[in-house]
Amino acid sequence: MQIDILLDVKTTLGEGPVWDVEQQRLYFIDSMDGRVFRCAADGTDLRAWDVPGKIGSMALRKNGEGAILSLDKGFWLLDFKSGHCELLHDPESNLVDTRINDGKCDRMGRFFAGSMDMMEEGPKGALYRVDPDMTVTKLEDGIICSNGPCFSPDDKTFYFTDTWTGEVWAYDYDITTGEISNRRTFAKVDTLNGGAADGATVDSEGYYWMALVYDGRICRFAPDGTLDREIKMPVKKVTSVQFGGPDLDVLYVTSMAKPPLPRFPSDGVQRGSLFAITGLGVTGIPEPRFGG
């Protein structure tokens, strides 16, 4: 196994890596600076788009060259050619201290993303589903900080976490309707060193990979919720993970250069880098596109 810095971009809050199988490009975001980045597998051919607000996540679209975004004020569509962003819907227009955070698509093209309390203290957030017809449905509420949504390879399980609960949850998932049910604790998160559950992905074997932010670890959980493997990273503030590369065997890891709140720890000179981990002997699954 080898950990390399792919790009030393110093993202204030790097997040949401997405590998595009069709174009062989990696997308990732800077949440606080409101920017979407794209590069080749080796970090070359870098370009960026500014978006009108803090961004929590993105998913590429099936229809047209663009993406669906979760911004601090609602769901938006970004056109890569023009750079134009169009508001779809703001489900929390009545709230001033929340923003929509982490999100992923299911294999039917639905986008799931949850919101968070920007002070990361109160249960003001919710989990939403955006269908390909642009309908927005609230699925859960009472969440402090939404993170880690993703799906098992057989489409029967949805994973999700409220970062500060110290747990990763699993739900029964109905791929036909997009409904979730039967929430239970999938895994306990080691928070003894101040770490918390952040962005996640599922590999081709059905194992759940999670960034343990503020503790500098990547954790791999087996389908039964047991801890299978840990990787110690060179920075504490790792934020999200995604498999990519031509063979889907590179684990891309985002990180943050500056913590969002003063109570969180600082980091060394590699903070804010985009990392690439090779030699894991594991492959990922192509990331689905938004159907709208």
The domain that contains 21 carries what CATH number?
A: 2.120.10.30
> Can you give the residue range of the structural domain that contains 30?
2-278
As a whole number of angstroms, the distance between CA 22 and CA 40 comes to: 12
**Residue 253 domain-assigned?**
yes
**Residue 283 domain-assigned?**
no
Enter the tokens of residue 41.
Answer: 């597998």
If you average pLDDT over residues 90-114, what whole number do you get? Answer: 96
**Other C-beta atoms within 10 Å of 63: how many?**
12
If you average pLDDT over residues 223-242, what whole number do you get? Answer: 97
**Residue 287 domain-assigned?**
no
Q: With a cut of 80, say whether residue 64 has pLDDT above it.
A: no
Q: Cβ neighbours of residue 231 under 8 Å, at least 6 residues apart?
A: 1, 3, 217, 218, 277
**Residue 212 domain-assigned?**
yes
The total number of structural domains that make up the chain: 1
**Residue 165 domain-assigned?**
yes
**Other C-beta atoms within 10 Å of 123: how many?**
14
Q: How far is CA 264 from CA 172, 194, 256, 259, 274, in A?
A: 34, 9, 11, 6, 20
If you average pLDDT over residues 88-116, what whole number do you get? Answer: 96
Distance of CA 267 to the CA centre of its chain: 21
The DSSP symbol for 258 reads: S
Q: How far is CA 290 from CA 54, 59, 121, 133, 265, in A?
A: 20, 6, 31, 10, 35
- For the question of residue 198 being annotated catalytic, the response is yes
pLDDT, tens only, 153-196? 999 999 999 998 999 999 999 999 999 999 999 999 999 899 99
**Residue 290 domain-assigned?**
no
**Other C-beta atoms within 10 Å of 247: how many?**
10
As a whole number of angstroms, the distance between CA 242 and CA 13 comes to: 16
**Residue 53 domain-assigned?**
yes
Q: Which member of 117, 162, 198, 203 is catalytic?
A: 198
**Residue 286 domain-assigned?**
no
